[in-house]
Structure 1
Amino acid sequence: MKFNLKFKDINETKELAENYTVQNLLNDLGLSAQTIVAKQNGELTIEESVINDGDEIQLVQIIYGG
């Protein structure tokens, strides 16, 4: 089972473990849910969402400013 990850310059297919969530992915990449928004198959999703075979996960960096 695999899924596609898009983040900055990354566009790769990754192996998928059973019950692997968006939060697991963020942890594996050393990223924080406070600075990243995740989209699963084009729709905004929460960290607890399970990633399924064939899903496309896009991670978007939140930019703060003032």
Structure 2
Amino acid sequence: MDQVAHYDKKGIAELDEIAAKINNGFVTKNMIQEFILGEKEHFDWVRQDVKLIKLVGLENYMLEQL
């Protein structure tokens, strides 16, 4: 899971760089920034679930999802 977190952080950083380079397209830049925000929220959600899995174990986590 740590490897996945590394790629998620890297991808979000790359999207931030792309958004910073857009100077002439307000709509495009706004869309990218909204997408980045959604990705950051998703990353936080996944990170919280991974912590919960480590705390209670995968089997108990899966039972809770039912």
Alignment TM-score > 0.5, same fold: no
More strand per residue: 1
Which has the higher relative contact order, 1 or 2, with Cα contacts under 8 A spaced 6 or more apart? 1
Task: Report the TM-score, using the length of structure 1 for normalisation.
Answer: 0.25
More helix per residue: 2
